[in-house]
Structure 1
């Protein structure tokens, strides 16, 4: 499994970037933007040639500095004078003309103030940073809302506002940043519904976990081209949209919400899926047979729901499986293939179910009335054995 996506599964901030990679505390390498970034407050940072862009950057950063009310690490103490490329946390790159030739000027290409513990707000003048590609503000104490002017950051590809104190409804200005690829809003107190438009954007990574988002999942969730979506630890309700059947996603987390209904049969269409976590919800019914088509799946977590029936034989035969958790449901049995998972060093937790002859199961009275036993979860007719990719008009024809 890709370590990047494993980090996302563990709810640890990650970098997903096509624009640039920040290296160390003061130097970065521009990928596609040209040149070496200069910044981080180093005393040897060369002076920049004055330009209208640098004047705008100076105005933006000085205005923002005035809106920062607490700076325990003294980060902004270096934000003095017109040479913004010498400011701590500010990274510059060589400016180029339309032919790709250097102009002799510097532009602010990235801001990395992760873990700076700054308190304050964002200011509308940040829109003057017209060449900004990366804005990382993870683990600070910024509050308030996202200024509407941020939609003017046409060069921005990564926006990380995680681990702050932002509040209010979903920050709609982020939906209009034209080249944004990475959006991280986790660990704030954003609330209200998730807008449908979010999943029509060309984002590659969407992190909304650990907020107060509520309401039903948008029906167009499956439109998203993202490779990772984390919606965990919110107050989302309703069912998992059937549209997810068409996603090319690698990792999706719904855990700890208030979702109900069935797990869609179409999950077997997620041919690249590596992590699926729907634990701690109120999902009912059986597990769809199409789960057996997830040939690349490594983590399946269905714990703490109201699922029932027998665990499908082919699910336990998945060759890439590393961990399968069905604890705290109402499953009534599983096959010999599931019994052999321990010999394959696969983590398998089936405790607190209704499986006869197994230890650590629910008391018998709890199993007399299975929740959702009358729920009819859609089953797509298929050949026996299931030929993966034949349902819903898929083109994939291999079997696990």
Structure 2
């Protein structure tokens, strides 16, 4: 997933060609950004064909060589033989290394199955813009020296064996806009200042993070926030949605969240996926969900919600999958009864419907005395959301 970058169109093209390179083979395409735009070269080869190798700044070349050789020595297993090409001072000929002129601007070693650690010397790659290490066996922690990677914009460390507390250094990488830490073994709390950073994507799912979701979650600039499959507890912050964020996907599923869905959820006018399934949320579903005019997937399953499903939810024009299974809902509107696409209401307390809970389970509704009206004092309506183009579906 590639996000918007400060360096403009050249960066977008670079991201596209890196993706295409993975499609045509293992590190079979060379890509870079030169003065004339993005160039594409063959093999694991190299530099910009329009540049003069003799003009490469020797100091810069030596720094990259030193950094990559230091990293090579910290990699203990290389079953695919990627590092066999990491020989000699021409670092732009190394598989998985992409250059512009003599500058290393991207490293893409996704699915190389390398085992080892990340070394502090990588901070010598001052022009590095992309570092993709998805699906390897790297372990340990992220060196504090990474804060010196001033050009780094995409950091993908997903599907590895990193551990320890949240890598705080990632917050101090000045131009980072895409952070992917999925499928590792990070523990402890998620720091509040993460959501103050100007990131386009925050992907932290499938770790072992604990504690509450930071209170400033709603102030994040990200379009995708994935905190699924952790051990997070407490309530969804009341700041959720208050800034009118351009959030498109939010995934909180399979945690230990309690309390209500904030009324302010309706402020996310652009949201397309909202999944809070497999938690312990309860109370009624806020009417403001009917303001989510762009939503396509709404998953509230395996919680403790009760009451009637709001009438307008099933008539949202873009909704293609609505799952409210295994809650304590007592009814839903005629719109839902007409058979909305992907509507799953099994395991509730709806009279006259099949595959519902046995009556004894419905006699004591969890959280039935819980008031979910928090801030503002009265439920929001779509018309009251000033400054956003949000309307309820007919």
Tell me the secondary structure at the aligned position of residue 377 of structure 1: coil
Match of 1:8 in 2: none
8 Å contact from structure 1 (residues 382, 390) kept in 2: no
Match of 2:3 in 1: 16
Tell me the secondary structure at the aligned position of residue 239 of structure 2: helix
Q: 1:350 to 1:84 in 2, by over 3 A?
A: same
8 Å contact from structure 2 (residues 46, 92) kept in 1: no
Tell me the secondary structure at the aligned position of residue 155 of structure 2: strand
Match of 2:353 in 1: 358
Alpha-carbon distance in 1 for matches of 2:35, 2:227: 31
Alignment RMSD, CA only? 2.1
Kindly state the Cα deviation for residue 30 of structure 1 after the two structures are TM-superposed: 3.8
Alpha-carbon distance in 2 for matches of 1:85, 1:207: 30
Equivalences, count:
370
Match of 1:60 in 2: 67
Match of 1:48 in 2: 53
Match of 2:368 in 1: 373
8 Å contact from structure 1 (residues 39, 89) kept in 2: no
CA-to-aligned-CA distance 1:242-274 (integer Å, 9 cap, x gap): 111222200000000000000000100000000
Alpha-carbon distance in 1 for matches of 2:193, 2:35: 28
Q: 1:38 to 1:127 in 2, by over 3 A?
A: farther
Q: 1:17 to 1:83 in 2, by over 3 A?
A: farther
Tell me the secondary structure at the aligned position of residue 242 of structure 1: coil
Match of 1:337 in 2: 335
Kindly state the Cα deviation for residue 36 of structure 1 after the two structures are TM-superposed: 1.8
Q: 1:66 to 1:39 in 2, by over 3 A?
A: farther
Alpha-carbon distance in 2 for matches of 1:31, 1:230: 35
Asked if 1:215 is matched to 2:211, the reply is yes
Match of 1:311 in 2: 309
Kindly state the Cα deviation for residue 184 of structure 1 after the two structures are TM-superposed: 0.3
Kindly state the Cα deviation for residue 398 of structure 1 after the two structures are TM-superposed: 3.4
8 Å contact from structure 2 (residues 44, 95) kept in 1: yes
Alpha-carbon distance in 2 for matches of 1:90, 1:169: 29
Matching residue within 93, 104, 118 for 2:100: 93
Alpha-carbon distance in 2 for matches of 1:225, 1:190: 23
Q: 1:40 to 1:389 in 2, by over 3 A?
A: farther
Kindly state the Cα deviation for residue 48 of structure 1 after the two structures are TM-superposed: 3.5
Alpha-carbon distance in 1 for matches of 2:99, 2:251: 36
Asked if 1:84 is matched to 2:53, the reply is no
8 Å contact from structure 1 (residues 17, 157) kept in 2: no
- Normalising by structure 2, what TM-score? 0.89
Tell me the secondary structure at the aligned position of residue 247 of structure 2: coil
- Normalising by structure 1, what TM-score? 0.88
Q: 1:200 to 1:43 in 2, by over 3 A?
A: closer
Q: 1:59 to 1:43 in 2, by over 3 A?
A: closer
8 Å contact from structure 1 (residues 387, 398) kept in 2: no
Q: 1:157 to 1:230 in 2, by over 3 A?
A: same
Question: Where do 1:77-226 residues align within 5 Å?
Answer: 77-94=84-101, 106-226=102-222
* Gapped regions of structure 1 (runs ≥ 5): 1-13, 95-105
